[in-house]
Structure 1
Amino acid sequence: MSNVPDQARVVIVGGGVIGCSVAYHLTKLGWKDVVLLERKQLTSGTTWHAAGLIAQLRATANMTKLAKYSQELYGNLEAETGVATGFKRCGSITVALTDERREEIFRQASMARAFGVEVEEISPAEVKAKYEHLNIDDVKAGVWLPLDGQGDPANIALALAKGARNRGARVIERTKVTGMSKQGRKITGVDWVAEDGESGHIKADMVVNCGGMWGHELGRMAGVNVPLHACEHFYIVTEAIPGLTQMPVLRVPDECAYYKEDAGKYLLGAFEPNSKPWGMNGIPDNFEFDQLPEDFDHFEPILEAACERIPMLAEAGIHTFFNGPESFTPDDAYHLGLAPEMDNVWVAAGFNSIGIQSAGGAGMALAQWMDEGQKPFDLGDVDISRMQPFQGNKHYLFERSKETLGLLYADHFPYRQKATARGVRRTPFHHHLLEQGAVMGEIAGWERANWFANEGQKAEYEYSWKRQNWFENSAAEHRAIRENVGMYDMSSFGKIRVEGPDAEVFLNYVGGGDYSVPVGKIVYTQFLNSRAGIEADVTVTRLSETAYLVVTPAATRLADQTWMERHTGDFRVVITDVTAGEGVLAVMGPNSRALLERVSPNDFSNAVNPFGTAQEIELGMGLARVHRVTYVGELGWEIYVSSDMAGHAFDTLHAAGQDMGLKLCGMHMMDSCRLEKGFRHFGHDITCEDHVLEAGLGFAVKTSKPDFIGRDAVLAKKEAGLNARMVQFRLKDPEPLLYHNEPIVRDGEIVGYLSSGSYGHTLGAAIGMGYVPCKGETLDQLLGSSFEIEVAGVRFAAEAQTRPWYDPKGERAKA
């Protein structure tokens, strides 16, 4: 007889390392009635064959925090549960074979220091001293992380499961979830069938999808989108090699290879550039501790390079040639959090071959989120709400997964664009821009012009850590915006209509600004959480007495709409995504008014259309609505045109601007211009864990309103004082480039890192911004310090101020 209960507080579906971690951490927080269902046996999907590399450094501070937590957890699990995890800190070395890769790993080392990770840049000779078996003939440099480690993946998962059981969780194997019952936006329970044929139903308050490569299929069962696809992942294990002792984990990303010594044998694995998707027609029902057919031809180039890199491999016999599936997501970041489509379905899946090092921290973070009802800290990198609905398309996932596995070890150049599964979402101006030399980037599936090639110039990226081939193109676009007039496509930005008799009072509750404004007024504002962290950064335009338009970043439209929907309560409002209904052209620069006056009989003066207002206009032979706002700090308008008239609007504006020197511009220009103005970028400079006052956005919060989310936390911070301030930096040396995550050095000590960086073409040097701790200090004390920014291990003197470098009083936008 089965021991499946009739009801549970939470049902976790999937018994790999992440499912076991979620169960472990929920019970650690005191949760009872935790049930984990595993279709076969614990770890039998992908966990059992993971390589077990456990690194600390990830691409962002919070992802690094989670990886470090995983390490500490695994180090202590054995003492707690009695299950050996095999965890040992053997250190890791990453080597560079090219100058570009050297720059990358040295920048990563600087970033590691900012994140509190112990790290050391080492010469080829020092690499050899730490890794005697390595051929260093063409090694340029290395990075040594002494606290990195390795472990036994299956036993780590089993230890987590035991810890969960010890605190009362029910971990039930050989029991498959076959369906879910729904009521509105909630799952009320799950259907299950055991291998012996018994079946039943569990009522559940919550469900967590930890289904790994089954996560996509499980998501559809629950009515949620979990975009991921399985790929074949190859490694070999040698026969025992005489004299081989414990070695650090070794990564040679330029050869797509990683090496792990285990019990006197070598494990050699690969993240090859062109991977092999698997399971397009579903995963066999009997899949358990299975491996896929060998493909030696596919792996042979990796092995040949490895035998040159570590000559002793050429003499070693191959004990195991392994091919097993791993799940990969469209952007190589895992999925975590509350699914946007449902109010009690959580996701922890799609770990892109870093599941072991991620699972401890991810399980901890998700459990805290579930327990408290809000994110414990910023998880935007992995929040499932970043995924767009179309990204669940199976053909899209198949095409994108060919690339994502290899991107783990590809050069992580700044601005690198995905090459596969492109062209899915196009703005109404797409073909107009391509005809004019646009070079497209992609975000949330949208194709966006990032820069424009000159006549005769190849319209594609040439990547580098130095100045890329578009640097001067973007500089010219930047100058056009500052000195004359430029036009760029903003159609991809999310547009959400909020309408109904309670639209005004609802927005006044959910947002920090004051929306009791006349029709046509535009309010720049944030949606705050209860801690006054920033959940969304938007503009809100009042269209009528009962309707508003909320404009959001392209990547967060779904998350921002979901945030509003979850707070509607009894408010009589309807919330609708209308993004595709209108094209948007931004016309910006000192001569933008003159251009608009050429194409429209309407009045664009300060008297009729002052900054922060919208008006309906005639444009050419059509109609449009213009919003006088700016993200680049100049006089300008965002022109909203219904999609059917968008082409006409583009042709009319473009033709009218030819003798004025109108320049088409891209997103790289927008980023450099907004940084000169100190405008924040959501997801980088402002997140759910950044207090709106410390972000320098107190001006957008109206505490005179009686009740809005986050009001108490805003008032408390005003009383207590700031712990950190957002500071603007400009390098004194015009040569180095800043991207983000470079350490901020104050009086010789690392105190933080840049949240954003770019080149200030008007200012003649790289610029950035980031938070600097300042508890108990005056602004003068903070700015009286000496500041440097560290770039790839070298520190460069920087000027610092809290005001924007460019037009600090904001006079140009109001001209």
Structure 2
Amino acid sequence: KYCITRAIESYERMYAMAAPNENRPHGRPIRVSALHTVLAQKGAIHIVNTGFEKPAWFTTETIRKESHTWSHSEAHEAVALECDAVANYCGVTDISGTAKFKITGKDSFTFLDQLSCNKLPTKDGRIGLTLFHAPNGGIMTEQTISRINQEHFLLMGAIGSQVKDYHWLELHSDGYEVEIEDMTESWGGLLLTGPNARQILEQCTREDLSNNKFSWLSCRNITIDSASVFAMRVSYAGELGWELHMPSWQLISIYESLMEMGEKFGLQDFGGQAFNSMRLEKMYRAYGAEFTEEISALEAGMERFLDLSRDFIGSDNIRKRKTNGVNTKLAYLVFDDQVPAECFGNEAVFFADKLSGIITSGAYGYRVGHSIAFAYLKPEHCKEGTNLTVDTSIG
């Protein structure tokens, strides 16, 4: 029913003037976090991804809505306030719209090892970032893998590839004694991130959250209030932070406790637009933008997470690419103008009036004070200091 409604909506809008911030309402909401109503009442403007409602930005006392436009909208200033809060104090955002899988069984490690281009975590309570490739070398998915023990792993990935990722896991599970459980709908999550994140979380738990006891890329269950929460010391926003995952019915209570304890530390809600800006400032890639089935970890500049000393699905193809060289590479672009428009993806990139490549994603970097973007370019143009031209929607 949702797909039919959206298809009809697309047909109706086929020849209408479009804008990247158009937020079409038909068929919504259908998949929501337990926090959806709470955040909406606080001014969250939700957008939809694969049917899942995600907070994009929060209205303020003076900014209540945004106009449809290809340039900076009224929301630009509201998002700036959210980024400032995360950079200088602390922010919290709903990350329930993340694909989540539990892998258990005596062959769990071996099963995931044949899929992962990176070495799996070898110690319990550690986290690893990896990519799964197809036999032809294309990136099928990005996964954050948390090792509970040798026979128990938790995978977190993009909501947009949830169904495909589950199918990929099932497709390659033959011959392995493993169980695959999709926990996307049953678990919710929060990201608490910013300089004051540790101080706020310490108000809600008796756990030792110091660097020595809870280091970066580590994970374990902690007790917040009286609830058991799976905490991961990671932050896609690039600041000190913890992802907190739990059964959905616990989400509102944990969120309210964090907001109450965090008020004196400047805790503020933030949404996906601020999130995207901050991940780009840290040069963090995203599935569906920088990671696609057309390219491998080599083109994406992910050699640090690529272990070719062992075999995995796609490793033979990637070794050939490494030997023969690649014809495109991911570059990080910093804009030297103040044109009030951003790259949204698919904009052409030119070197001396010659086409070099294409933008994958972009945003305004509020912490760095200028526009930024990722692009796949000809390798010879991926050098620091190279002057390039990108035509955005308004110049």
TM-score by length of 1: 0.47
1:508 aligned partner: 113
**1:716 equivalenced with 2:320 (yes/no):** yes
Shift of 1:644: 2.3
Does residue 410 (structure 1) correspond to residue 16 (structure 2)? The answer is yes
In structure 2, the partner of 1:441 is: 47
8 A contact 2:72–2:340 mirrored in 1: no
Provide closer, same or farther for how the CA distance between residues 699 and 600 of structure 1 changes in structure 2, counting only shifts above 3 A: same
The CA distance in 1 between the partners of 2:110 and 2:134, in whole Å, is: 17
Distance in structure 2 (CA, Å) of the matches to 1:630 and 1:555 = 20
Q: Is the 1:641–1:649 Cα contact (8 Å) retained in structure 2? A: no
Q: Following TM superposition, by how much is the alpha carbon of 1:632 offset from its aligned partner in structure 2, in angstroms?
A: 1.2
Q: In 2, distance between residues paired with 1:640 and 1:675?
A: 24
Quote the offset at 1:397 in angstroms. 4.6
- 2:59 is the alignment partner of 1:453: yes
**Higher relative contact order at CA 8 Å, sep ≥6: structure 1 or structure 2?**
2
Shift of 1:410: 2.2
Equivalent position of 2:175 in the other structure: 570
Answering whether residue 66 of structure 2 is matched by residue 485 of structure 1, we say no
1:730 aligns with 2:360: no
Q: Map of 1:107-256 to 2, 5 A cutoff?
A: none
Q: 1:557 aligns with which of 147, 162, 172?
A: 162
The percentage of counterpart residues that share the same residue type is 28
Return the offset for 1:435.
Answer: 2.2
What is the distance in 2 between the residues matched to 1:520 and 1:693? 28
Match of 1:429 in 2: 35
CA deviation after TM superposition for structure 1 residue 436, in Å: 1.4
Task: Select 2:212's aligned residue among 599, 607, 612.
Answer: 607
Q: Name the CA distance, whole Å, in 2 between partners of 1:583 and 1:682.
A: 20
The answer on whether the counterparts of 2:121 and 2:128 sit within 8 Å (CA) in structure 1 is no
Unaligned runs of 5+ in 2: none
- Contact 1:403-1:420 at 8 Å conserved across structures: yes
Contact residue 485 and residue 589 of structure 1 kept, 8 A: yes
Deviation string 1:294-326 (CA, Å, 9 cap, x unpaired) is xxxxxxxxxxxxxxxxxxxxxxxxxxxxxxxxx
Report the Cα distance in structure 2 between the residues aligned to 1:603 and 1:462, rounded to whole angstroms.
Answer: 46
| Structure 2 match to 1:667 | 272
Return the match for 1:544 from 141, 149, 153: 149
Larger helix share, 1 or 2: 1
- In structure 2, relative to structure 1, the CA distance for the partners of 1:464 and 1:613 (3 Å cut) is same
User: How far apart are the structure 1 equivalents of 2:136 and 2:82?
Assistant: 39
Equivalent of residue 645 in structure 1, options 231, 245, 250: 250
> Residue 787 of structure 1 aligns with which residue?
388
Deviation for aligned residue 1:457: 4.0
Residue 365 of structure 1 corresponds to: none
Amino acid at match of 2:36: H
Q: 1:516 to 1:639 in 2, by over 3 A?
A: closer
User: Do the aligned residues in 2 keep the contact of 1:735 with 1:765 (CA within 8 Å)?
Assistant: no
1:581 to 157, 173, 186: 186
For 1:755 and 1:548, how far apart are their aligned partners in 2? 31
Match of 1:524 among 123, 129, 135: 129
Contact preservation (8 Å) 1:503, 1:573: yes
Q: Which amino acid aligns with 1:731?
A: F
Q: Which has the larger radius of gyration?
A: 1
Contact 2:71-2:394 within 8 A present in 1 as well: no
TM-score normalized by structure 2?
Answer: 0.95
Kindly tell me: are residues 778 and 399 of structure 1, through their superposed partners in 2, closer, same or farther at Cα, counting changes over 3 Å?
closer
| Whole-angstrom CA distance in 2 between matches of 1:574 and 1:522 | 20
Q: In the TM superposition, what whole-angstrom CA distance separates every residue of 1:400-433 from its partner, at most 9, and x where no partner exists?
A: 3442212212222113222111011110111221
Other structure's SS at 1:716 match: helix
RMSD: 1.7
CA distance in structure 2 between the partners assigned to 1:480 and 1:793 by the alignment: 30
- Please name the residue that 1:597 is paired with: 202
Instruction: Please list the CA deviations of residues 327-357 of structure 1 after superposition, one character each: whole Å capped at 9, or x if unmatched.
Output: xxxxxxxxxxxxxxxxxxxxxxxxxxxxxxx
Contact kept, 8 Å, 1:450 with 1:666, in 2: the verdict is yes
Residue 448 of structure 1, CA deviation: 1.2
* Structure 1 residue 698: Cα displacement: 1.3
**For the residues of structure 2 that align with 1:561 and 1:591, how far apart are their CA atoms?**
36
Which consecutive segments of 4 or more residues in structure 1 shift more than 4 A?
A: none
Separation of aligned partners in 2, 1:530 and 1:401? 33
Unaligned runs of 5+ in 1: 1-393, 795-815
State the one-letter code of the partner of 2:389: E
CA distance in 1, matches of 2:385, 2:49: 40
For residues 759 and 745 of structure 1, the distance between their equivalents in structure 2, rounded to whole angstroms, comes to 20
Shift of 1:583: 1.3
User: Residue 576 of structure 1: CA displacement?
Assistant: 1.3
Q: C-alpha separation between the residues in 2 aligned to 1:472 and 1:515?
A: 41
Instruction: State the alpha-carbon separation in 2 of the partners of residues 670 and 699 from structure 1.
Output: 24
C-alpha change, 1:591 and 1:520, in structure 2 (3 Å) is same
Equivalent residue, structure 2, for 1:123: none
Q: Is the 8 A contact 1:527 1:535 kept in 2?
A: yes
Q: Distance in 2 between matches of 1:778 and 1:400?
A: 40
Q: 1:725-781, CA deviations, whole angstroms, 9 ceiling, x for partnerless residues?
A: 21111111122322222221113322111111111111222111111112xx596xx
Q: Deviations over 1:456-515 (max 9, x none)?
A: 643x44211111121111111112122211000000101011111111000000111212
The verdict on how the C-alpha distance between 1:708 and 1:625 changes in structure 2, with shifts beyond 3 A counting, is same
5 Å-filtered alignment, 1:727-806, equals: 727-738=331-342, 739-774=344-379, 777=380, 782-783=383-384, 785-792=386-393, 794=395
CA distance in structure 1 between the aligned counterparts of 2:236 and 2:202, rounded to whole angstroms: 22
Query: Equivalents in 1 of 2:211, 2:376: separation in Å?
Result: 36
Specify the SS of the correspondent of 2:185. helix
Q: What do residues 6-54 of structure 1 show as CA deviations (whole Å, max 9, x unaligned)? A: xxxxxxxxxxxxxxxxxxxxxxxxxxxxxxxxxxxxxxxxxxxxxxxxx
1:260-271 pair list within 5 angstroms:
none
Structure 2 match to 1:121: none
Q: 2:266 & 2:41 partners in 1: Cα distance?
A: 18
Match of 1:510, SS state, is coil
Report the AA paired with residue 720 of structure 1: N
Residues in 1 aligned to 2:147 and 2:386: alpha-carbon distance in whole angstroms = 44
Q: Deviations over 1:574-593 (max 9, x none)?
A: 11111122210000111111
Would the alpha carbon gap of residues 748 and 605 (structure 1) be closer, same or farther in structure 2, given more than 3 Å must change? same
